Structure 1
Amino acid sequence: MIYQSSSITVQYIADGIAEFTFNAAGSVNKFDQQTLADCRAALDILYKDSALKGLIYTSGKDAFIVGADITEFLGTFQQAEEQLVPWIKQASDVFDLAEDLPVPTVCAIKGFALGGGCEWTLTADYRVADTTTKIGLPEVKLGLMPGFGGTARLPRIVGADTAMEWITTGKERGAEQALKEGAVDAVVAPDKLTAAALSMVQDAIAGNLNWRKKRQAKLEPLKLNKTEAIMSFSTAKGMVFAQAGKHYPAPMMAVETIEKAARLDRAGAVALENAGFAKLAKTTAATAQIGLFLNDQLIKAKAKQAGKQATKIIKKAAVLGAGIMGGGICYQSASKGVPVVMKDINDKALELGMGEAIKLLGKQVERKKLDAAGMAKVVASIQPTLSLEPVKTVDIVVEAVVENPKIKGAVLKEIETVVAADAIITSNTSTISINLLAANLTDPSRFCGMHFFNPVHQMPLVEVIRGKDTSDATVAAVVAYAAKMGKSPIVVNDCPGFYVNRVLFPYFAGFSKLLLDGASFAQIDKVMEKQFGWPMGPAYLLDVVGLDTAHHCTDVMADGFPTRMAKLENDPVSVMYAANRYGQKNGLGFYAYSKDAKGKPKKDLDPAATALLANVAAAPREFSADEIIARTMIPMINEAIRCLEEGIVATAAEADMGLIYGLGFPPFRGGPLRYADTMGLANFVALADQYADLGEIYQVTDKTRAMALSGQVFYPV
């Protein structure tokens, strides 16, 4: 044994050839500070070993290295930028040491080699991957760029254009694509991997492979002439700005770093990368996106735990109520391997539901994510029916009929007499109290809410709503089923609007108040989309949700919170509804809708909508972007805080992910509570106090004020 630690072993496996194996104590290999220190210690010994002729890197896990240990990041990134540069340089120096070993090196890659794991492979002279390999540099998804030499090495291995595409998109590659692009030198079957790496290093030792020449190319400037460089980097910048915009600085920083480093040697290129990485680490986008990743891991961990605790395994489901939503739920269940009965009371609804499922599956086939046989198998696992007979054998029922408490209550009462005594019953209601609906059942312990978001196939969130009588076993089984469907479930307690819609309607109220005070809905949308970062501004979102639906929900929320969410006099949403302007569904809302060349809805300003609003609003006037953001976002943040304080949602992480996954809250802001932390709670309270006279939705809670005074945050590092 040459070297051994808790994460690494190095030993000779042939004459002069050593195997450097990553094999951490946990389930995966990742680069944390201890592993980096172990790498340096092992490399120091290898440098002194005169018997060493060649080295191969392998993994003792199913994956090579999944990346850096992100849990260390947020604490480390609290340091000043000038302290972060030497911190990241210390790490990247270890990678340089690996690259500079005076013998040929080969990396044997299997499974995931992502982030720092990919960067380690780039230090080797040759890379051989097995067919399970997934390799890439996903750092931009965390608001960062590679920090262990990836921006320096990858362009010199695969070329600047390919490297920038890898780095700015963060997409991983399979083994064959990586081979085609030049990132790996060979692809073999898993059982041939170590032998192939050993053979390759032996060829390099024998002089059959010119490993020194291959290594030298990584140490020199990029081989681009001036014209090629201008074309390459100008094109990349244009594409990055079009895709990422101004809110995500990491992709552009990566391109600019590669561009500036093009004329430099490795030392200069890595130094630029160190500086860029440290600068990105201090951005609010990086803090938010790293936090988002960690929050997502928390949700996944809770779902996994629920799966372990669930005593009822969902093997077959039923959806009551077809149509677009019902069809979407059926598609999601069937496509993830849980057969489903689609039940409705008329053929047209079943046709619509099956049509929606088939359309979604057809898109999967078009994108080559599914073949025709796979599509046929999924379609066959959806059973459309007008009869209750097939529902008798299911493990779970998702009621998705019209949003009316009497109709839902009658359906739930009937279905309880049809299904097995241990079958779970859920309602896909968006606003109606679960406790109210549960009153229709003789056994409310097996009932809860299962709120999907539209469009079902795109929106990751499922709210699992616990009623006062819902059992833990029911919640566990439904969370596990939602996760099996590929969704991110969050458990919330019952209240009007549950969590997401309860928080959304104060945001809409802030928007309505702005309109009544003379603001332009088009300007509000522009500010909230272009400057704040929402995928849709509030007027556009209301049109997509449906102004008839929003009008109804406004009544529900007003009944639930009569002082804070009382219906506004001359509410613009009600004005549109009264004029039969329901949004996209009938082509008229705040905007007028037509079809574009691809058949998708196209919105245009409509003078008739402006005229309707002029009848109820103050004279038009300009509002600053800051005021528009404050007046719409303060109510949303306040309500999210109230939900956390009241225990409607369990953690700040789930509160933030609920809005990111359910509404499309800008990920680079991290969610409403992370956004408040970024502002500073004292600053948020001061800002809210400026608008406190506008009503209760603008008034912060006593606990928020106390937190601000004591310097507390929702996310202590």
Structure 2
Amino acid sequence: MIYQGETLSVTLMDNGIAELCFNAPGSVNKLDGAALLTLEAAITALEKTESIKGLLVTSAKDAFIVGADITEFLDKFALPDSELASWLGRANSIFNRMEDLPFPTVSLVRGYALGGGCECILATDFRLGDASARIGLPETKLGIMPGFGGTVRLPRLLGADTAMEWITTGRDHKADECLKLGILDGVVDTTKLRDAGIKLLQDTGLHHWQGRRRQKTSPLTLSKTEAAMSFATAKGMVAAKAGPHYPAPIMAVNTIEAAAGMSRDAALLVEQENFITLTRTTAARALVGLFLNDKLVKSKAKKAAKSATATERMAVLGAGIMGGGIACQAAVKGISAVMKDINNEALQLGMDEAGKRLNQQLERNKIDGKQLARVLSDIRPTLSYDELSGMDLVVEAVVENPGIKAKVLAETEQKVDENTVIASNTSTIPISELAKSLTHPERFCGMHFFNPVHLMPLVEVIRGEHTSDDTINQVVACAAAMGKTPIVVNDCPGFFVNRVLFPYFFGFNRLLADGADIAEIDKIMERRFGWPMGPAQLLDVVGMDTAHHAADVMAQGFPDRMQQSGSTAIDLLFKQKLLGQKNGHGFYCWQQDKKGRLQKTDNPQAQALLQQSFGQTNSFEADDIIARMMVPMVNEVVRCLEENIIASPAEADMALIYGLGFPPFRGGVFRWLDTIGLNEYLAMADHHAGLGPLYQISDRLRHMAQHNQTFY
């Protein structure tokens, strides 16, 4: 034994080849602070050991190294520049020393080698993998970029263009692609991987492995013309895709460009400086926080699943677009689904929705014909309640009408087994009200999917007044098994997501009533604030009939804040049957392009209707539009936390991002409040307090601001 540490060991075999094996406590290897320290000690031991002929770098886990320990990031980001630079410099010296060992080195990659794990294998001379190998540098997804030599070694190994594509997208890559590009020198059977690594070390000539090192430690071999074309093209593509709110991808390109003519050590200093700059951005803190919040939410779902009854068979009541989407999603994930409705036309619509989605996946090579056939065969359409016998879970997804839902739920309870859980996909109607139609309300809860089901990651699981823990756990586990992120909320009109969305829409209504322009509001909320679509376009997607109905539910549930006086913009368009995308006319006109995608144009009818009701349009400052749109939403989000509708700031922020598309680079409402500061937010809200109750700050929030408190 050459070295034994907490996270790795180094042994010397009879053939003179040493093996450095990562084997951290726990299920995976991470390149955290402890792992770096033990790696440093291991390299020191290797440097002092004579007669080593080569080094195998391996993992005792099914994955090589999954990356850094992201839970350490925010503390690192808080360090002064000098301390952060010292930490980065020390980490890079470890990989440089590994790269400079006086004998050839080979990494054997099974499973994931991501982030720091990828940078670790880049420091070795050769890399072999099995078919499970997945390699990548995902740091830009966290608002940063590689900091352990990824922007230096990868371009010199794969070429600047390929390296920039890898780093700016943050995607990981399968073994066959890595072999084709040259990051892997071979892909072999798992059982033969170790022997292949030993043979490669024994067969490696002196100049071969030293030539590899010279390639990675020398400047890039690009002419001035090639460099100009390569970097200009990359910057244009990255700017178009990432936009101004995500600085990490363009910083990575600039880093590779600035260091192109430098040797390794000088290039690493450029990387270090730019990495530190990114850690100071609000986007990095938000995106790292988002990752940690997602981890929290998923850990809660895993905990619930451990004590839950597994859902193997489920039924969906209502075979429309939503019901068909739910049934298809279940079947795709291996849960057989019965789809019930009252007529064959509705059933056909549900099956058509499932078939449409599956054919799209087939066209994109996501599934093959056999998989498509299997999924469709796992969806059984029926007109009979008798098919509900033997179901683990029944999801009601009929029309959003409390009377109809109550009738369907009561009929369903008479037909299902005594242990079957019943859930409603209602988007606004209180679960405790619907539960009054049931004999066993403890086996009932809300299971609110978002449209389109296959794309939207969130499922709100709503606890009613009498819902049991076992029911919640089973529905949470089922949602997770369907590939969704479940977040448990307590009951109220609109639950969490729609309760906080409609104040945002009411702010939009008030802006239009005061003469703001539809397109100007959408442009500012998209480009300046960062929403994927502005409020007018979002309402067109939701449908004016749906929005009109939901607004009434919210007004009845919260009359002191959400009762609107007079006809709103939503009311006006609804009455004129300008319903949005569903009939081609809403705030915008909608038509399909040649590829079948809906494209919007101005709708003169809607503009004339608004001018007739509210007068000529006025121009508003961008900051005023943002404040008037966001303050009602933020205030309602804070109230939901205060009233325990949502359990934590982390879960609230994830629900907003996964359910509404809240800008990820802002991290959610509570992360945004911490970023801008509560006193600044209070000034923004108080400036518009005259607009009504939705703009009034809660006493608790004002108290937090006075005491400089934060949500995280």
SS in 1 for 2:227: helix
Q: Does structure 2 conserve the Cα–Cα contact (< 8 Å) formed by 1:88 and 1:278?
A: no
Q: Which residue of 2 aligns with 1:12?
A: 12
Q: Does structure 2 conserve the Cα–Cα contact (< 8 Å) formed by 1:81 and 1:282?
A: no
Shift of 1:689: 1.0
Q: Which residue of 2 aligns with 1:256?
A: 254
Matching residue within 577, 580, 587 for 1:580: 577
Shift of 1:265: 0.5
Alpha-carbon distance in structure 2 between the residues aligned to 1:72 and 1:166: 24
Alpha-carbon distance in structure 2 between the residues aligned to 1:201 and 1:639: 63
Superposition pairs for residues 586-665 of structure 1, below 5 Å? 586-665=583-662
Q: Which residue of 1 aligns with 2:521?
A: 524
Q: Which residue of 2 aligns with 1:195?
A: 195
Which runs of 5 or more residues in structure 2 are unaligned?
none
Q: In structure 2, what residue type is equivalent to 1:192?
A: K
Matching residue within 323, 327, 331 for 1:326: 323
Q: Which residue of 1 aligns with 2:22?
A: 22
Superposition pairs for residues 120-269 of structure 1, below 5 Å? 120-204=120-204, 207=206, 210-269=208-267
Q: Deviations over 1:524-582 (max 9, x none)?
A: 00001111111110001001101111111111101111111112322111011111111
Alpha-carbon distance in structure 2 between the residues aligned to 1:621 and 1:97: 65
Alpha-carbon distance in structure 1 between the residues aligned to 2:565 and 2:91: 58
Q: Deviations over 1:479-509 (max 9, x none)?
A: 0000000000000000010000000001011
SS in 1 for 2:613: coil
1:407 is aligned to 2:404: yes
Shift of 1:695: 1.1
Q: Which residue of 2 aligns with 1:697?
A: 694
SS in 2 for 1:630: helix
SS in 2 for 1:14: coil
Superposition pairs for residues 364-379 of structure 1, below 5 Å? 364-379=361-376
Alpha-carbon distance in structure 2 between the residues aligned to 1:159 and 1:411: 62
Shift of 1:16: 2.1
Q: Which residue of 2 aligns with 1:513?
A: 510
Superposition pairs for residues 320-399 of structure 1, below 5 Å? 320-399=317-396
Q: In structure 2, what residue type is equivalent to 1:212?
A: Q
Q: Which residue of 2 aligns with 1:42?
A: 42
Shift of 1:271: 0.7
Q: In structure 2, what residue type is equivalent to 1:44?
A: T
Shift of 1:132: 0.8
Alpha-carbon distance in structure 2 between the residues aligned to 1:374 and 1:435: 40
Shift of 1:662: 0.5
SS in 1 for 2:577: coil
Q: Give the share of equivalent positions with the same residue, in percent.
A: 57
Which runs of 5 or more residues in structure 1 are unaligned?
none
Superposition pairs for residues 487-498 of structure 1, below 5 Å? 487-498=484-495
Q: In structure 1, what residue type is equivalent to 2:359?
A: G
Q: Does structure 2 conserve the Cα–Cα contact (< 8 Å) formed by 1:517 and 1:619?
A: no
Alpha-carbon distance in structure 1 between the residues aligned to 2:266 and 2:172: 27
Q: Deviations over 1:82-117 (max 9, x none)?
A: 442222222222111111111110001111100000
Shift of 1:368: 1.4
Alpha-carbon distance in structure 2 between the residues aligned to 1:272 and 1:263: 12
Q: Does structure 2 conserve the Cα–Cα contact (< 8 Å) formed by 1:555 and 1:567?
A: no
Q: Does structure 2 conserve the Cα–Cα contact (< 8 Å) formed by 1:22 and 1:29?
A: yes
Shift of 1:618: 4.6
Q: In structure 2, what residue type is equivalent to 1:244?
A: A
Alpha-carbon distance in structure 2 between the residues aligned to 1:36 and 1:147: 13
Q: Which residue of 1 aligns with 2:297?
A: 299
Alpha-carbon distance in structure 1 between the residues aligned to 2:101 and 2:395: 61
Q: In structure 1, what residue type is equivalent to 2:232?
A: S
Alpha-carbon distance in structure 2 between the residues aligned to 1:11 and 1:448: 56
Alpha-carbon distance in structure 1 between the residues aligned to 2:56 and 2:321: 54
Q: In structure 1, what residue type is equivalent to 2:51?
A: A
Q: Does structure 2 conserve the Cα–Cα contact (< 8 Å) formed by 1:143 and 1:249?
A: yes
Alpha-carbon distance in structure 2 between the residues aligned to 1:561 and 1:125: 65
Alpha-carbon distance in structure 2 between the residues aligned to 1:603 and 1:213: 56
Alpha-carbon distance in structure 2 between the residues aligned to 1:676 and 1:354: 44
SS in 1 for 2:399: coil
1:504 is aligned to 2:504: no
SS in 1 for 2:245: coil
Aligned length: 712
- TM-score (normalised: structure 1): 0.98
Matching residue within 522, 535, 538 for 2:535: 538
Shift of 1:625: 1.0
Superposition pairs for residues 70-109 of structure 1, below 5 Å? 70-109=70-109
Shift of 1:599: 2.1
Matching residue within 416, 420, 423 for 1:426: 423
- The 1:81/1:513 distance shift into structure 2, 3 A limit, reads farther
Matching residue within 545, 551, 556 for 1:554: 551
The two structures, once aligned, show a CA RMSD in angstroms of 1.0
- The 1:564/1:132 distance shift into structure 2, 3 A limit, reads same
- TM-score (normalised: structure 2): 0.99
Alpha-carbon distance in structure 1 between the residues aligned to 2:368 and 2:10: 45
